Structure 1
Amino acid sequence: MASGIPCETTPEAPRSVDPPEDLRPCERRALHEFRARLEDAIVSNQQLVKASGREKSKSRVACSADPTEDPREESLWGIPLLPSQGHEGTDVILLKFLRAREFKVSDAFAMLQKTLRWRREFGADSILEEEMGLPELEDAADVNGTDREGHPVCYSICGAFKDKDLYRRTFGSKERREKFVRWRVRFVEKGIQELSFKPGGAGSLLQVIDLKDSCSPDMKELRSATKKLVSVLQDNYPEFVVKNIFINVSLRYYVYYALFSNLISPRSKSKFILVRPSKVLETLLKFIAPEEIPVQYGGLKREDDDEFSPEKQVSELVIKGGGMATIEIPVVEPGVTVVWDITVVGWEVTYKEEFIPDDEGSYRVLIQKEKKIEESVRNSFYINEPGKVVLTIENRTYKKKRVLHRSKSKPTIPLYNLLNQTKHPIA
């Protein structure tokens, strides 16, 4: 089929869902042409997946050339590629390749062919069922929650490799480095399982890469494996990352990035965000709600949290430089435990907690004496009389501070009452 002919003008136009409304006319034409070219290649049983030069020298059989396979069943990430099947996810996949190649249809088609060939050579379609035997790397990567737009958030913790024994077992040889790349691709495939390939759905990942304790000059093997990984992901996972947020970036890494960035395409580079340690929470809050940010990064999310659900509303207050603010949690009925979370963007404030009873004849209780707050705080206090828990935050810097907090009350039977009921059960 001649290049440049939109699919509306072909005698047998592929049946498909309507293109997204946000596409410009030239982009719509490119999508129509891509559909038609792909349809023609699959229906006419052309060799969609071209063999590499090495494979051609070994055999005349194409790398995808299983004569029992029906080319009409070609798919990517579970989405059929044949446009005339009318699957709602087909255009979503095709647009990823088009956007990665600036809507140049020939380049996008060539990229799709290379990706299909690579997946078959690499075994990417079956990698999730593969047992890699690397349980020690579980602390180095995690898919944890979603961002404000519903994109799954993938965390990579490079500092896990400061353990010299783990570093040697992971990067000590070429074979181990290749296995690491394979493990990391598996992690990406796991994240893709959380995506939506429906038009308008969250079809990409947000990546947070924590570089704390990872820029030692001795970690050249890690950098080498990372370069290869970036190349693999850039070539075969187009538009699958909405942003790459590098946090806890040191000066050494800024220098390294300046040298390394020439290997990254301009489009991919535009998605990179480098964040200094003091700006981690502030930056993550632009993309992720505080209740979805793990506590180690200043957020309010704790593993296996049985106190607060993600739906629990988080409140915010702003304290001007040199100012002070209080958060009051009133308790009308006694016999409850008050639980609260609090975190501060930028830290550098002092903080204390106390219980003030309504009865003027009762004593105030200092729950937490004044201290500097340098991490997310969770605390609780049992209330046996009406009153209020008061959290006092003082900002002695000249910059304004954002305070994020939430609280709840839950009925509680004190332990001594339970023990007393056990000894003297009620008749």
Structure 2
Amino acid sequence: MADDSPTTASPPPEMASEQPILSHPPPSPPPPGSVTEKETPFSPPSTTTIGQVIEQPEKSISNQPTKTPEPMPSFKEESNQIKDLSAPEKKSLDDFKHILQEAITKKEFTFLAKPEEPISEITSPREEISIWGIPLLKDERTDVILLKFLRARDFKVKDSFTMLKDTLQWRQTFNIDSLLDENLGDDLEKVVFMHGFDKEGHPVCYNVYGEFQNKELYQKTFSDGETRLKFLRWRIQFLERSIRKLDFTPGGVNTIFQINDLKNSPGPAKTELRLATTQALHLLQDNYPEFVAKQVFINAPWWYLAFYTMISPFMTQRTKSKFVFASSAKTPETLFKYVTPEHVPIQYGGLSLDYCDCNPEFTIDDPASVVTVKPATKQTVEIIVNEKCVFVWELRVVGWEVSYGAEFVPNNEDLYTIIIQKAKKMTQSDEPVISHSFKISEIGKWSDMSEKIAFANICGPQSVTDKDKVWEDLLKIKRDRRGAWIYMGDFKVVRRSGERVNSHFCARSAFAFNHFIFEAGFTNHRMGGNKFTFFFRL
């Protein structure tokens, strides 16, 4: 338990420093449809776009033994505009600028000189000392940078100046300017990445701890001091590049929204990871003040919550007010509180996807039907089809724990309903976006539903002689006809022990299946009169 103690192991960087760092937790589109309700009253949804869809997953019971920490009063970012500062804050900012100008005049930044450059040139008033590409004096963005250091030190001017000076010296020692263009590989691009924006316009950074369950990646990243240093440089490079894209003008967005995915997190026993992140912790809390708008921890395991409860008394109220925790069951709901679904990646139950790697038929701007599935209920979306066509649709589930099925219902009462997709429960391991198409040869309606459907098998012959004959006929059909073939019915009633025929089971009634074959234009066969199996070749 020594590794869990705050006196023997530094807390995760997100907790102790508020900085954006990967840390170790101690360690042709379809028209909108109408919605009908089968079990409970349901108000028809409004037509919207895919980007506006918000579905509530069925509630599931969490088995986490530790209660999620109660959130502190939500942190609200302070304004960076001079008119919004209090009188003491304005005075501190003016004093900070004055001290900074005096330091430049007195040549206190000689450590910034390159070996080949004379010190007088570096400290000349004509030369601008900058950080993150922004001059520290005589620029409209200067105030925003200086306010970050002031707020990190509670507007104590001398302490803020010391922090700034130390940061500039560290950046020179760490060769930040050359680090920006250094090629450090792409092995960690799935570990830390930027994706979308929150509701207030902050860029969102995802830290995915579970990627380090990959032993090869873990070994390659943390096996020795050299690899750990490379990881640190990669993480600082990623942060620096992200900061350069922020807007440091007064009123601009100049902080990052952090989402930390703790699913399959390696845990507190990984010494190498702890060493690397402890080192990163100290660098970040000393050199990157006030760059995090919010820290959201999702898929939080019970031991992580227990650790947080233990160390939280040592944190400031300001730091704790930026933290939000969510168990696996509450992850989508929590994310959507801060980030709209169209900006949440599909692997987290959102709608955002890479259209180069997924279905290009639809975008988040296309018409969509919104369905809210309450626990233990079923909702059905029905779309009337008035002409023969190829019908294409897409399903995106915001959250999980719902079942999905689809069927086509012809208007002709003599025809049977065709099951397009048997009802199936959707989980995080499934494809996050379901795409289907169906050739409609009869006027009717398409239904997208979440329910289970039962079918009866067709009876086979009872006598051994009849079973043998049917079996031989089936083998002959398989030998004589090329391409895929499908059967329906209980094949075990005719198969002798030890015999095998590869096939695909289709649980439909004989009449409906025969009608489907006819409409689809396939060659069909009927074996054993009207009591057994239909076949067709594709």
- For normalisation by structure 1, the TM-score amounts to 0.75
Q: Secondary structure at the match of 1:159?
A: helix
Which segment drifts farther, 260-269 or 197-206?
260-269
Q: Which residue of 1 aligns with 2:499?
A: none
| Equivalent residues of 1:322, 1:394 under 8 A apart | no
Q: Per-residue CA shift, 1:81-121, capped at 9, x if unaligned?
A: 11xx2x22211212211222222222222221111111111
Matched ranges for 1:81-92 at <5 A: 81-82=136-137, 85=138, 87-92=139-144
Select the structure that is richer in strand.
Answer: 1
Q: Per-residue CA shift, 1:244-271, capped at 9, x if unaligned?
A: 2222221222344456668866533432
Q: Which residue of 2 aligns with 1:390?
A: 447
Structure 2 residue 295 is matched with structure 1 residue 244: yes
Structure 2 residue 101 is matched with structure 1 residue 47: no
CA distance in 2, matches of 1:354, 1:102: 63
CA distance in 2, matches of 1:320, 1:374: 16
Matched ranges for 1:156-175 at <5 A: 156-175=207-226
Q: Flag the 1:65–1:107 CA change in 2: closer, same or farther, 3 A.
A: farther
Structure 2 residue 345 is matched with structure 1 residue 294: yes
Q: Per-residue CA shift, 1:54-81, capped at 9, x if unaligned?
A: xxxxxx999x984432464111111111
CA distance in 1, matches of 2:433, 2:335: 18
Residue of 417, 436, 440 corresponding to 1:380: 436
Residue of 53, 67, 84 corresponding to 1:22: 84
Q: Secondary structure at the match of 1:68?
A: helix
Q: Which residue of 1 aligns with 2:250?
A: 199
Q: Flag the 1:318–1:382 CA change in 2: closer, same or farther, 3 A.
A: closer
Structure 2 residue 279 is matched with structure 1 residue 228: yes
Q: Secondary structure at the match of 1:326?
A: strand
Residue of 153, 176, 179 corresponding to 1:124: 176
Q: Which residue of 1 aligns with 2:163?
A: 111
Residue of 166, 181, 187 corresponding to 1:136: 187
Q: Secondary structure at the match of 2:121?
A: coil
Q: Secondary structure at the match of 1:136?
A: coil
Residue of 401, 424, 441 corresponding to 1:371: 424
| Equivalent residues of 1:351, 1:372 under 8 A apart | yes
Matched letter for residue 170 of structure 2: W
Residue of 201, 212, 228 corresponding to 1:150: 201
| Equivalent residues of 1:209, 1:247 under 8 A apart | yes
CA distance in 1, matches of 2:337, 2:118: 47
Q: Flag the 1:217–1:88 CA change in 2: closer, same or farther, 3 A.
A: closer
CA distance in 1, matches of 2:211, 2:252: 33
| Equivalent residues of 2:194, 2:203 under 8 A apart | yes
Q: Please, which runs of 5 or more residues in structure 1 have no aligned partner? A: 1-17, 52-59, 396-415, 417-427
Structure 1 or 2, whichever has the larger Rg, is: 2
Select the structure that is richer in helix.
Answer: 1
Q: Which residue of 2 aligns with 1:95?
A: 147
Q: Per-residue CA shift, 1:163-202, capped at 9, x if unaligned?
A: 2222122111122212211111111112213311122222
Q: Which residue of 2 aligns with 1:280?
A: 331
| Equivalent residues of 1:203, 1:240 under 8 A apart | yes
Matched ranges for 1:318-397 at <5 A: 318-332=372-386, 334-345=388-399, 347-357=400-410, 363-375=416-428, 376-384=432-440, 387-393=444-450
Q: Per-residue CA shift, 1:277-303, capped at 9, x if unaligned?
A: 222111111121111111111112222
Q: Flag the 1:252–1:389 CA change in 2: closer, same or farther, 3 A.
A: same
CA distance in 2, matches of 1:20, 1:381: 57
Which segment drifts farther, 375-384 or 106-115?
375-384
Q: Flag the 1:104–1:321 CA change in 2: closer, same or farther, 3 A.
A: same
Q: Flag the 1:269–1:236 CA change in 2: closer, same or farther, 3 A.
A: farther
Identity of aligned residues (%): 42
Matched letter for residue 247 of structure 1: I
Matched letter for residue 214 of structure 2: D
CA distance in 2, matches of 1:61, 1:191: 26
CA distance in 1, matches of 2:216, 2:334: 33
CA distance in 1, matches of 2:144, 2:445: 53
Q: Flag the 1:263–1:175 CA change in 2: closer, same or farther, 3 A.
A: farther
| Equivalent residues of 2:198, 2:340 under 8 A apart | yes
Q: Which residue of 1 aligns with 2:121?
A: 68
CA distance in 1, matches of 2:237, 2:293: 19
Q: Secondary structure at the match of 1:273?
A: strand
Q: Which residue of 2 aligns with 1:409?
A: none
TM-fit CA distance, 1:48:
4.2
CA distance in 2, matches of 1:89, 1:369: 58
Q: Secondary structure at the match of 1:201?
A: coil
Matched letter for residue 226 of structure 1: T
Structure 2 residue 97 is matched with structure 1 residue 35: yes
Which segment drifts farther, 204-213 or 33-42?
33-42
CA distance in 1, matches of 2:390, 2:84: 52
Q: Which residue of 2 aligns with 1:423?
A: none
Q: Flag the 1:258–1:323 CA change in 2: closer, same or farther, 3 A.
A: closer
| Equivalent residues of 2:213, 2:266 under 8 A apart | no
Q: Please, which runs of 5 or more residues in structure 2 have no aligned partner? A: 1-79, 453-519, 521-538
CA distance in 2, matches of 1:21, 1:163: 51
TM-fit CA distance, 1:152:
1.4
Q: Which residue of 2 aligns with 1:4?
A: none
CA distance in 2, matches of 1:123, 1:172: 24
| Equivalent residues of 1:96, 1:238 under 8 A apart | yes
Q: Which residue of 2 aligns with 1:408?
A: none
Matched letter for residue 220 of structure 1: T
CA distance in 2, matches of 1:240, 1:23: 19
